[in-house]
Structure 1
Amino acid sequence: MPVLFLIIVGAAAGFIATRVMDLKTDLITTVVIGMLGALIGGLVLRFLLMLSGMAAGFVGAVLGAMLLIWAWKAIRGRR
């Protein structure tokens, strides 16, 4: 069940993050961005802000996905 939850939250977070950051991706890339963002953002928010529960996980997922997109654009822009 946790894997299914991560995919659902990742899809939602990736969708929101790609729309906010104006990035056009396919469904698989959006879900992967959201899942990686969930890992990054969830850990950062839990350690820095001491938030717990699903709210911290979802907010962290969106913020982490946006951070991942920003870093990807910055690295891709240097080439």
Structure 2
Amino acid sequence: MPILALIIIGAAAGFLATRIMKVTTDVPTTIAIGIGGALIGGMTLRFVMMLTGWAAGFIGAVLGAMILIWLWRSYFR
């Protein structure tokens, strides 16, 4: 996945995940959460469900970002 696409998908996924989880963060943190979620969730979905394409990457990015937010809330606050 090209870097620019990862940043765009990560930013959108981070924004969506922070709104779903009701977390208020600044823009760089939202993008970082989304990119981290894209890496975690995209890999997980591709390995577990054998899905490919942009839709699986976006869904995985949102789920991964939500997992990162949950971990951050649970263990680092």
User: TM-score normalised to the size of structure 1?
Assistant: 0.93
Q: CA deviation at 1:2?
A: 1.0
- Partner residue of 2:32? 32
Q: State the structure with more CA Rg.
A: 1
What residue ranges of structure 1 are gaps of 5+ in the alignment? none
The one-letter code sitting in structure 2 at the alignment partner of 1:43 is M
Q: CA deviation at 1:58?
A: 0.3
Quick one: percent identity of the two aligned structures?
64
- Partner residue of 1:15? 15
- Partner residue of 1:47? 47
Count of residues paired in the alignment: 77
Q: CA deviation at 1:76?
A: 2.5
Does the alignment pair 1:56 with 2:50? no
Over aligned residues, Cα RMSD in angstroms? 1.1
What residue ranges of structure 2 are gaps of 5+ in the alignment? none
